[in-house]
Amino acid sequence: MTPAGLYHPGTTMLHRLPAGVKLAGLAAGITVVLLLDRRWLPAAGGGIGILYAAARIPPRLALAQVRPLLWFAVFLLVLQALLTDWQRAVSVVLTLVLGVALAGLVTLTTRVSAMLDVVEALLGPLGRFGVRPDRVGLVLALAVRGVPVIAGIAGTVRDAHRARGSTVAPWAVLVPVVVRVLRHADSLGDALAARGVDDER
């Protein structure tokens, strides 16, 4: 299964749209969602649902895009309800969820390499100020790649604790996870150097 935030292969129109168009559409879509009157938010949600269906994203994978927001959304809902009113709280949370859903749709239908091409093209003019667009692109790619890597390391460390019969306290997992992530970063650095990434000057 494709984890949240990773490309889901397909041949739909949304998959075939150029990455630049999708990123511009995402910026426009989020702006619209932010400015929309709260009465229209459910309709916007319906529209985004139709886009997910048009991209043939399985419902479970669509939900996976917004599931990580669950606890934050609950916290925000309660906070907003206490500070303002429940209608305002619902609209703030809905706006957040719709924005993340839109971003999820773009990442699910766009290869990371296509997004890197756009980012590198956009940052190209900054080259004269010493910015390396290819490096920025690489950092973004590694950030995306880091999601399953860190999740995998955390899973392994949790399993190791369980195998020894320990209860898994978050603080006990944190240190070995950080150590292993740093080790992985070291190895990845070697692999990038071996592939000549450092030579691209």
Euclidean distance between CA atoms 51 and 55, whole angstroms: 6
Site string for another protein, 153-182 (x = CB under 8 A): ------------------------------
Using the contact rule CB under 8 A, the part of the chain among 80-88, 106-114, 160-168, 172-180 near another protein is: 106-114
| Residues in Cβ contact with 162 at an 8 Å cutoff, skipping those fewer than 6 apart | 168
How many CA within 13 A on the CB side of residue 157? 20
56 contacts 12 by C-beta, under 8 angstroms: yes
Report how many residues bind another protein under the rule CB under 8 A. Answer: 29
| 56, 67, 88, 111: residue in contact with another protein (rule CB under 8 A) | 111
Residue 200 makes contact with another protein by CB under 8 A: yes
Q: Is the CB of residue 136 less than 8 Å from the CB of residue 159?
A: no
- Residue closer to another protein by CB (options 99, 137) is 137
Angle at 178 between CA 173 and CA 182, to 5 degrees: 150
Least distance to another protein, CB of residue 1, Å: 8
The distance of closest approach from Cβ of residue 89 to another protein in the complex, given in angstroms and rounded to an integer, is 35
CB of 10 to another protein, least distance (A): 9
Of residues 2 and 91, the one with the C-beta less far from another protein: 2
| CB 6, CB 146: distance < 8 Å | no
Instruction: Determine phi and psi for 90, rounding to 5 degrees.
Output: -65, -40
Minimum Å gap between C-beta 42 and another protein is: 33
According to the binding rule CB under 8 A, does residue 184 interact with another protein?
yes
**Residue of 95, 86, 104 whose CA lies nearest to 36:** 95
End-to-end CA distance of the chain: 37
- Of 7 and 36, nearer to another protein (C-beta) is 7
Residue 40 one-letter amino acid: W
Give the binding site for another protein (CB under 8 A): 2-3, 6-7, 9, 111-113, 134, 138, 141-142, 144-145, 148-149, 152, 184, 187-188, 190-196, 199-200
